[in-house]
Structure 1
Amino acid sequence: MVCQLPVDCLNEIFEYLEKNIVTLHSCLLVNRLWCKVSVRILWRDIWKSYIPSRILNTLIACLPNESKNLLRKNGIFISTPTLKYPLFNYASFCKVLPINEIYLTIDDFLKIENFNTPISLLRVRNHVMTQEIFKMLMSQITSLKEITYYLNVHDESISNNINFIYFPGTKECLTNLSELNCGSNINSEFFYQLSKICCNIQSLIIGFGYNISNGLKDLISSQNNLKYLSLIQYYCSADWLDIIPSFTKHSNTLIKLKINGRNKYGSLSFIAAFKNLQELDLLGCCTSQEFEVLQYVIFSKLQNLKFSRECPKIEMLIKFLEINGKNLKEFHVPNSLHLLDLLDINILCPNLKNNRY
């Protein structure tokens, strides 16, 4: 007689396979119990591991009959296999919501099925289908962990109208949201409503577009335990000076900071407020002028320091390392900074485990 491992034991084993998609997929095929356990893990972040069109077909199959009928009334064709309700409630397993990925997948789906349909009608159908998919996700997902939402640069008028904040179940779904990756120019109402629901975001990545929605300040200020902040400055990005006070409110909790792109509207002196930083990553944004204030700031917990593409003057860097090098474990500077070869870096940073310069 074959001995069957308990569900709890299987679950603990499969958790180690979360990033091994091929092996995890093989577990689906062993038997129903293995399938039941592994499918929950596989679907947490399903958009990274499966073909988007197949994921969408599965989500359509999960839609309630009321939503499927609404799609038909709006001229959206649903194939026969999709009409059958699936073996599992796959939507309930999702923990990551890539809004852009879903929107673009629906857009491609409709263009294939309706290649002769006018663009204006496709937009209407896209909106209807997107809303029904998100309505289902909000009602079925018990605790969403991550959202990614950037405007579609090719058609911002559509993607900026994606709004699921008012759907039933949204509050319960988003209360424990811990990661948000978003554009600064998402409509303000989205940020306003999100700030009322999500107060425990720990990781926030913001790509600065041509403007900054007023609601973004509210969202940032409403967080209680922000630990990781990443600011991405695009070529034609807006002035972000007004939003800096919202960041510095989290000076006690923030431990990781990454800035990608030059701050065209002011210095990096606001970084000095984050005295508990453990990781600081400055990508293409740190000239000597911008680093002038930071060279004297004490970051007693700093362990990882990284400069990419640009670096302050060698004397400024030495002053900074004299103050903060003691606890550094990783240190990266551009390869062009050959002057560091003249230094005994181990004297300034005695605990280095990894360095590249």
Structure 2
Amino acid sequence: MEEINLDCLVLIFNVLIKDEKSLHSCLLVNKKWCNIVVPILWKRCFLGEINEKLCNVILSFLPSSSKKLLSNNDIKLPSLTLSKFPLFNYISFCRYISPDDVDKIINIVLKNLCNDHRRNLMEQEIYKLFISQCKNVKYLCWTTRQPLTLFPGASIFFSQLYELYINIDSVNSDALYELAQICKDLNTLSISGYCNIPNLFYLIDAQRNLKKLSLHAEVDEKTGNCGKELSKALRNRTTINSLYLNSIDNIVLSSLTTLVNLKKLTILHWKNYKEIQQYLAIYEFPNLQQLILRQGHLSSFKEISLLIEKTMGNISEIDIVTINKTAKEAEILIKAIVDNCPKISDLYTYIEPKDFIHVKTLLLNCRFLRIIELRSLEFFINENDNNIGDELLDIFILFSPKSLDNISISGFWKYSIDAFNRFFEGFRKRPLQHFNIIFDKLSYSNITSNHKIIIRKYINEGVVKYSSC
């Protein structure tokens, strides 16, 4: 029988990556199969699966100098650690390194003892091992104070990184500068911590093809230098298509106007809503596909609408959970979505009862909607609004596209029991995956035990699969 081509075997085994049992069986077929399968199995190692057996294999690769250093400092390696060098250099196949896995190895050896000196030595030698031996690592989470860029093999190790998460509270300015000299081909960079290190600019600026940038950082407001440097680093970064900003100052926001290829923009926790509204009005991201604004206090939908109007119709997700309860004119946003977002699938926003009629237009024009979440802008109950939510429920029954199977509505609006029954009967032939009631902690809820009984009834009958009630 003719042998299967090696390239075909590699493709087949990579498809079986989720079925480790079958892959382990393939190891035993012959040496050729074994040589292909072992790297595939080990390249996804270190994903929270460290146990004592795996720990012993990893520690077997420690050089004699490391073992002697640990022994001299009263660190006893497990007796089951392999005395002979294994058949494969398993460490070299690994693609991911996380601090959690390093901690698990240390805890297995030190039995969770909290001796800072011994833990530091153990951590140092493990990271030295990984950096010197792992030639194909694609993801690194750097939250250690170990000087990783100074370890043997660091230049090769960091030059091949694809994704880096770094807590800058754990590194000093020199380490960031050194990192910028040898790590230039990141696709994804995620930064957290208190942003007061000047050389952070060099790390971002050094990247030649950065696609995704996440800044979960507090900018140093005392000096303002880091904000200015971050702003410089972001200017003209035309390769970036995904940007996540958390607690970033207005200096940084002002530099986003040059990110013309941005497809996903997420902004959380801004402090000055007037400035963010100003920037939203002037931003132009024609290729934008996802817009997420959360945990701020925007007082108007107008600026968001202006941003949406300048896109090219490719937006698939809008997530607005930032509006001040006093905000008005929610219909401006709905109209902008209707006119400019024919491909939208996920929508999270706020409306008032007077805007329910615009929901009808939205459902009729955006036929790819899959998820819709409508929160209430109202804060005070109007006693004249008896069962005002019935209109919204009837609109969903009559005009929802077939794709819409996840509906969340505010518990602030009043719904009659008859309308609730009518709503679920309307979806009997096209069951909902989710039906949720949003309970605003600051608002009174009009959802009663009778409403919940109805929801439970239709869950039991298969009309709804999941519900927050």
Alignment of 1:124-203 (within 5 A): 124-150=117-143, 159-160=144-145, 162-185=146-169, 186-203=171-188
The answer on 1:231 being equivalent to 2:215 is: yes
Structure 2 Cα separation of the partners of residues 332 and 282 of structure 1: 11
Structure 1 Cα separation of the partners of residues 52 and 91 of structure 2: 15
Larger RCO (CA within 8 A; separation ≥ 6) = 1
Mean Cα deviation higher: 138-147 or 52-61: 52-61
Could you say which residue in structure 2 is the equivalent of 1:275? Answer: 260
1:241 pairs, out of 218, 227, 233, with 227
* Deviation of 1:257 (Å): 0.6
User: Letter of the aligned partner of 1:352 in structure 2?
Assistant: I
Flag the 1:335–1:97 CA change in 2: closer, same or farther, 3 A. Answer: same
Is the CA contact (8 Å cut-off) linking 2:230 and 2:252 kept in structure 1?
no
Unaligned segments of structure 1, at least 5 residues? 151-158
Cα deviation digits, residues 47-88 of structure 1 (max 9, x gap): 215135554332101223343233222221122321333342
Q: Which has the larger radius of gyration?
A: 2
Flag the 1:212–1:234 CA change in 2: closer, same or farther, 3 A. Answer: closer
Is the CA contact (8 Å cut-off) linking 2:231 and 2:251 kept in structure 1?
no
Does the residue aligned with 1:47 lie in a helix, a strand or coil? coil
Unaligned segments of structure 2, at least 5 residues? 350-469
Is the CA contact (8 Å cut-off) linking 1:295 and 1:317 kept in structure 2?
yes
Does the residue aligned with 2:11 lie in a helix, a strand or coil? helix
Cα deviation digits, residues 133-165 of structure 1 (max 9, x gap): 222222222233222112xxxxxxxx42x1232
Flag the 1:236–1:38 CA change in 2: closer, same or farther, 3 A. Answer: farther
Could you say which residue in structure 2 is the equivalent of 1:156? Answer: none
Is the CA contact (8 Å cut-off) linking 1:226 and 1:250 kept in structure 2?
no
The answer on 1:31 being equivalent to 2:37 is: no
* Deviation of 1:329 (Å): 2.9
Could you say which residue in structure 1 is the equivalent of 2:96? Answer: 96
Is the CA contact (8 Å cut-off) linking 1:221 and 1:249 kept in structure 2?
no
Cα deviation digits, residues 15-50 of structure 1 (max 9, x gap): 2344x2xx1254124433555433323322422151
The alignment's TM-score, normalised by the length of structure 1, stands at: 0.81
User: Letter of the aligned partner of 1:268 in structure 2?
Assistant: L
Cα deviation digits, residues 293-339 of structure 1 (max 9, x gap): 22222212212222234474211222222222633233222397993
Structure 1 Cα separation of the partners of residues 335 and 210 of structure 2: 36
Cα deviation digits, residues 89-123 of structure 1 (max 9, x gap): 1110112222x22442344235417x5xxx5xx33
Mean Cα deviation higher: 324-333 or 314-323: 324-333
The answer on 1:339 being equivalent to 2:330 is: yes
Is the CA contact (8 Å cut-off) linking 2:198 and 2:229 kept in structure 1?
no
User: Letter of the aligned partner of 2:340 in structure 1?
Assistant: L
Is the CA contact (8 Å cut-off) linking 2:139 and 2:162 kept in structure 1?
yes
Is the CA contact (8 Å cut-off) linking 1:181 and 1:204 kept in structure 2?
yes
Tell me the percent identity: 26
Q: Which has the higher strand share?
A: 2
Cα deviation digits, residues 236-285 of structure 1 (max 9, x gap): 9986413323432452211111113x335657222212122111122343
* Deviation of 1:129 (Å): 2.5
Corresponding pairs, count: 335
Could you say which residue in structure 1 is the equivalent of 2:369? Answer: none
Cα deviation digits, residues 165-184 of structure 1 (max 9, x gap): 23332222221222111112
Structure 2 Cα separation of the partners of residues 314 and 50 of structure 1: 46
Structure 1 Cα separation of the partners of residues 21 and 274 of structure 2: 50
1:215 pairs, out of 187, 199, 203, with 199
Could you say which residue in structure 2 is the equivalent of 1:318? Answer: 305
Flag the 1:356–1:94 CA change in 2: closer, same or farther, 3 A. Answer: same
Is the CA contact (8 Å cut-off) linking 1:25 and 1:42 kept in structure 2?
no
Is the CA contact (8 Å cut-off) linking 2:293 and 2:322 kept in structure 1?
no
Does the residue aligned with 1:229 lie in a helix, a strand or coil? strand
Does the residue aligned with 1:293 lie in a helix, a strand or coil? helix
Alignment of 1:6-17 (within 5 A): 6-17=5-16
The alignment's TM-score, normalised by the length of structure 2, stands at: 0.63
User: Letter of the aligned partner of 2:214 in structure 1?
Assistant: S
Flag the 1:334–1:38 CA change in 2: closer, same or farther, 3 A. Answer: farther
Mean Cα deviation higher: 314-323 or 39-48: 39-48
1:290 pairs, out of 246, 267, 276, with 276
The answer on 1:350 being equivalent to 2:342 is: yes
Flag the 1:69–1:123 CA change in 2: closer, same or farther, 3 A. Answer: same
Cα deviation digits, residues 173-217 of structure 1 (max 9, x gap): 2212221111123122221221111111221101132x5323322
* Deviation of 1:11 (Å): 1.6
User: Letter of the aligned partner of 1:292 in structure 2?
Assistant: Q
User: Letter of the aligned partner of 1:331 in structure 2?
Assistant: I
Does the residue aligned with 1:305 lie in a helix, a strand or coil? strand
Could you say which residue in structure 1 is the equivalent of 2:58? Answer: 59
Is the CA contact (8 Å cut-off) linking 1:220 and 1:246 kept in structure 2?
no
The answer on 1:253 being equivalent to 2:244 is: no
Is the CA contact (8 Å cut-off) linking 1:225 and 1:253 kept in structure 2?
yes
User: Letter of the aligned partner of 2:337 in structure 1?
Assistant: I
Flag the 1:111–1:169 CA change in 2: closer, same or farther, 3 A. Answer: closer
User: Letter of the aligned partner of 1:183 in structure 2?
Assistant: N
Structure 1 Cα separation of the partners of residues 250 and 306 of structure 2: 26
Is the CA contact (8 Å cut-off) linking 2:245 and 2:267 kept in structure 1?
yes
